[in-house]
């Protein structure tokens, strides 16, 4: 265990009002040096808008632009738009150091664990150092230290890259302010003092002037949250409030910094040689989709003549996060017919209303609201009637996770016919998976797993791991199979024997430039995705045609377009239309742990154990399977494809069973 002093961490939620007034926006230039700032207790006036510290709206880099444009009077900007500021060459460096424990003033920094994997509840400690390498004093305007989570989706067909910040946290003690915010971990009242170990001053000067060859540092601390805010998902899907795991790599970001990074397949991952570079695990995501967490430090300057803001310097340190979730994902993906049926009905209803408006216009030259009211009522009535009943779901009627049938007929061979007249083997073989929730544990690349063993964690991380182990489920890698044989009347009534059992894990990654509005089950993902995408592409094309007609005839139509085609519906249709899929297959290690012979009712039961790579005992490095997750722009799910090969030429039974892969807290590997 790593030695650690018993520092108490402050579990407090900072005031959104306090954050809103002094951190969220870079203010317009004003003489603030001599203002009497209110104390924390005095800030109690209500505000009109209270944005979330943790989540922000999606941003597409292809469409990134400030309202005023670069160089056209950007004198104030919100924290979530800092990346849009123009960058200038400035004689600064920003170093970010992440440490196992809280750094101490007057002590050397601990050696970091470059293969560290964080999970929910873990704390990211570190220090950021800003150095002025010029021989002149330079003034800055604002300094931010942030912890961010970002999804990037690349659409190669349309040559676009879309990103979304699903998590953003600010350390107000590490960021700059006109007043001193006491950090969560004590700094021994050393603020604004010189540290001889790294030759840096703790804190920034009040006048915002960085002296020639001066070095200034701030300690930071972030706690990985258990979940995101509910504002993260406009569709209200619970799994979208959970943190997604680190996955893939973003090679297409500005500068293409990591375009030459490759995976070392002997290790199961690749890592940038620069400090703070990301780990790219062999997880099938490639560079088409990435989820990255990072600590960011941004120094903002202001042009003394034009008063415009610009990015003086920024730095980033990637953090690998594998969350421990407390919900099962696969159970919610078994049947999406209700949600999909509702979305299809809404789309077809909107198209029908626009076509009705167009038809009425061609007949009368005008369309009143009354022309559409009766049809709106009728369309809603048809929509309600068309929705599938939840009681009709095959999942509700069938208590097993999966069921399949095999009709077999095997004629006797010619040699047996010469001796006697044998009966043929014929009938129906039924297979059922009785295990409702199969849970495989997440297994990191072997070397990463060794560097994240329980005994190497800090005292706080061990306590957090024990907390999570009490709240989350354990691994459930066993699968129970029931076989039932129904021989034909002219059969020999002898059930076929099971020859071999094989299994593979089907990894499904879904991604879209727009928010994915519904859950999709494995039948749609594996067998109907092209049909579904084509259907929604047709909806988009027809809606665009009808909306163009409406815009050119809007003066003659009383009903507003929003009433017939809400913007939210159009976005939902685009979310399905732009859905991309990455499907990969990985062999599983199957061990039969229990089996019974055919009983008098011609039934047999088998229990198997499933294990996915990497296999530590054999030393085989295979692709890793990050935990299941669902996010508005991206999701990952798994299906076990099980194949039972029967003897005597009977054939095989095949099952597709949705399962979970989860980060299971454990004291052992």
Sorted by sequence, the CB contacts under 8 Å of residue 469 that are 6+ apart come out as 665, 666
Structural domain ending residue among the three candidates 294, 323, 352: 323
pLDDT at 77 over 70: yes
514 located within any domain: no
219, 124: one domain: yes
Estimate to the nearest angstrom the gap between the alpha carbon of 471 and the chain centroid: 21
pLDDT at position 644 is 96
Total count of domains within the chain: 3
pLDDT at position 560 is 87
Going by their DSSP bridges, the two strands 589-595 and 603-611 should be labelled as antiparallel
DSSP letters spanning 540-586: HHHHHHHHHHHHHHGGGB-S-HHHHS-HHHHHHHHHHHT-EEEEEEE
376, 342: one domain: yes
350 located within any domain: yes
Q: What's the mean pLDDT in 121-141?
A: 95
* Structural domain of 147: 16-323
What number of helices (H) and strands (E) belong to the chain?
A: 11, 28
Strand-pairing partners, residue 481, are 433, 606
- Residue 284 is inside which H or E element, if any? none
558, 603: one domain: no
130, 252: one domain: yes
Please, which pLDDT band fits residue 51 given cuts at 50, 70 and 90?
Answer: very low
pTM (two decimals) = 0.85
Q: What's the mean pLDDT in 578-605?
A: 94
122, 68: one domain: yes
Listed ranges 46-60, 207-221, 320-334, 336-350; the one with the highest mean pLDDT? 207-221
pLDDT at position 454 is 94
Q: What's the mean pLDDT in 540-565?
A: 90
Residue with tokens 């044989």: 485
Largest CA distance in the chain: 111
pLDDT at 636 over 50: yes
User: Average pLDDT, whole number, for the chain?
Assistant: 82
Please, which pLDDT band fits residue 37 given cuts at 50, 70 and 90?
Answer: very low
pLDDT at 41 over 70: no
296, 364: one domain: no
pLDDT at position 68 is 35
Tens digit of each residue's pLDDT (9 = 90 or more) over 432-473? 998 888 999 999 999 999 999 999 999 999 999 999 998 888
548 located within any domain: yes
Q: What's the mean pLDDT in 261-277?
A: 90
Please return the burial class of 533, using the count of CB atoms within 10 Å of its CB with bins 0-12, 13-18 and 19+.
Answer: middle
pLDDT at position 4 is 47
Structural domain ending residue among the three candidates 528, 553, 574: 574
Q: What's the mean pLDDT in 600-612?
A: 94
pLDDT at position 389 is 45
Tens digit of each residue's pLDDT (9 = 90 or more) over 206-242? 889 999 999 999 999 999 999 898 887 888 888 889 9
329 located within any domain: no
What share of the chain in percent tops pLDDT 90?
Answer: 52
pLDDT at 253 over 90: no
621, 551: one domain: no
pLDDT at position 176 is 82
pLDDT at 33 over 50: no
The CA-to-CA distance between both ends of the chain, in Å, stands at 16
Structural domain ending residue among the three candidates 323, 351, 383: 323
Going by their DSSP bridges, the two strands 652-662 and 603-611 should be labelled as unpaired
199, 90: one domain: yes
Nearest to 323 by CA among 668, 116, 629: 629
64, 158: one domain: yes
Q: What's the mean pLDDT in 77-82?
A: 79
342 located within any domain: yes
pLDDT: which is higher, 336 or 39: 336
130, 71: one domain: yes
CB 520 within 8 A of CB 653: no
Q: What's the mean pLDDT in 612-621?
A: 70
pLDDT at 594 over 90: yes
60 located within any domain: yes
Report d(CA 496, CA 426) in Å as an integer: 9
376, 263: one domain: no
pLDDT at 617 over 70: no
Please, which pLDDT band fits residue 38 given cuts at 50, 70 and 90?
Answer: very low
668 located within any domain: no
1 located within any domain: no
pLDDT at 372 over 80: no
Report d(CA 301, CA 92) in Å as an integer: 12
pLDDT at position 625 is 94
255, 277: one domain: yes
């Amino acid at each position: 265990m790593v030695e650690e002093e018993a520092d108490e961490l402050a579990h407090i939620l900072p005031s959104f009002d306090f954050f809103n007034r002094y951190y969220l926006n870079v203010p317009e230039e004003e003489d603030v040096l001599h203002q009497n700032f209110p104390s924390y207790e005095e800030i109690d006036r209500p505000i009109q808008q209270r944005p979330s510290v943790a989540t922000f709206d999606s941003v597409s880099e292809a469409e990134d632009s400030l309202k005023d444009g670069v160089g056209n009077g950007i004198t104030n900007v919100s924290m979530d738009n800092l990346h849009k500021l123009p960058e200038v060459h400035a004689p600064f460096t920003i170093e970010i150091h992440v440490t196992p424990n809280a750094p101490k003033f007057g002590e050397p920094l601990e050696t970091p664990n470059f293969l560290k994997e964080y999970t929910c509840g873990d704390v990211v400690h570190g220090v950021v150092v800003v150095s002025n390498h010029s021989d002149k004093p330079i003034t800055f305007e604002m300094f931010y230290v942030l912890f961010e989570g970002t999804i990037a989706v690349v659409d190669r067909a349309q040559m676009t890259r879309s990103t979304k910040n699903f998590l953003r946290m600010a350390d107000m003690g590490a960021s700059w302010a006109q007043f001193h915010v006491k950090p969560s971990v004590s700094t021994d009242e050393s603020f604004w003092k010189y540290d001889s170990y790294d030759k840096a001053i703790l804190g920034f000067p009040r006048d915002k002037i960085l002296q020639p060859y001066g070095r200034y540092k701030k300690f930071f601390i972030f706690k990985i949250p258990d979940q995101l805010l509910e504002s993260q998902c406009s569709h209200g899907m619970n799994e979208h409030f959970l943190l997604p795991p680190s996955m893939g790599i973003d090679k297409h970001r500005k500068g293409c910094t990591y375009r030459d990074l490759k995976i070392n397949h002997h290790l199961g991952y690749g890592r940038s040689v620069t400090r703070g570079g990301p780990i790219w695990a062999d997880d099938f995501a490639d560079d088409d989709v990435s989820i990255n967490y990072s600590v960011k430090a941004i120094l903002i300057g202001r042009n003394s003549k034009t008063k415009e803001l610009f990015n003086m310097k920024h730095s980033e340190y990637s953090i690998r996060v594998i969350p421990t979730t407390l919900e099962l994902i696969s159970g919610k993906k078994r049947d999406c017919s209700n949600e999909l049926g509702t979305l299809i009905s809404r789309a077809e209803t909107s198209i029908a209303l626009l076509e009705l408006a167009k038809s009425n216009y061609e007949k009368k030259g005008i369309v009143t609201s009354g022309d559409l009211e009766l049809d709106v009522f009728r369309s809603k009535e048809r929509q309600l009637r068309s929705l599938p009943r939840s009681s009709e779901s095959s999942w509700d009627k069938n208590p097993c996770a999966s069921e399949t049938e095999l009709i077999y007929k095997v004629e006797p061979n010619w040699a047996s016919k010469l001796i006697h007249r044998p009966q043929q083997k014929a009938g129906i073989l039924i297979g059922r998976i009785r295990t409702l929730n199969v849970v495989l544990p997440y297994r990191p690349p072997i070397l990463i797993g060794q560097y994240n063993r329980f005994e190497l964690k800090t005292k706080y991380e061990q306590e957090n791991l024990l907390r999570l182990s009490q709240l989350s489920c354990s691994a459930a890698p066993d699968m129970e199979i029931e076989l039932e044989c129904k021989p034909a009347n002219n059969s020999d009534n002898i059930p076929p024997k099971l020859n071999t059992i094989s299994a593979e894990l089907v990894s499904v990654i879904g991604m879209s430039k727009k928010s994915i509005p519904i859950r999709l089950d494995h039948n749609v993902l594996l067998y109907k995705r092209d049909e579904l995408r084509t259907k929604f592409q047709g909806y988009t094309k027809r809606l665009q045609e009808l909306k163009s007609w409406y815009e050119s005839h809007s003066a003659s139509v009383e009903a507003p377009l929003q009433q017939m085609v809400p913007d939210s519906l159009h976005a939902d249709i685009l979310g399905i239309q732009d859905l991309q899929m990455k499907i990969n297959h990985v062999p599983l290690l199957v061990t039969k742990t229990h089996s019974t012979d055919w009983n008098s009712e011609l039934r047999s039961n088998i229990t198997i154990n499933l294990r996915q790579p990497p296999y530590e005992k054999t030393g085989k490095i295979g692709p890793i399977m990050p935990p299941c997750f669902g996010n508005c722009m991206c999701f990952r799910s798994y299906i076990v494809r099980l194949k039972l090969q029967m003897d005597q030429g009977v054939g095989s039974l095949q099952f597709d069973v949705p399962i979970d892969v989860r980060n299971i807290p454990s004291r052992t590997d």
